[in-house]
Amino acid sequence: MNTVSVDLPFDQIKKALRHLPAQEKIALWRLLDEDLDRPAIARRFASSVNSIRKAYAHISEQEVMADAVKATRQVRKAHNAKSRS
């Protein structure tokens, strides 16, 4: 098996990949998906979530939900204003 070494900036690689046909993108995605260490990704995600929970443990669920509702209303209002223009 021959080995090819390519020294390209990541942005150039992304640009080239965007020009691939859909079927080739799917084939590449499947190939790269096999290399993922899903348990490691799950551990990192769980660790991040736990860190966030610890950092905001002093904030009540009620406050969190009130902020979420407020943020949702702001985004919808902005989106509706943008849609009308």
DSSP the chain: ---------HHHHHHHHHTS-HHHHHHHHHHHHHT--HHHHHHHHHHHHHHHHHHTTTS-HHHHHHHHHHHHHHHHHHHHHHHH-
pLDDT for residue 44: 97
| pLDDT tens column, 23-37 | 999 999 999 999 999
Enter the DSSP assignment of 3: -
| Model confidence, pTM | 0.50
Considering the chain, what is the average pLDDT of its residues? 92
pLDDT for residue 45: 97
Regions in the chain scoring below 70 on pLDDT = 85
pLDDT for residue 71: 96
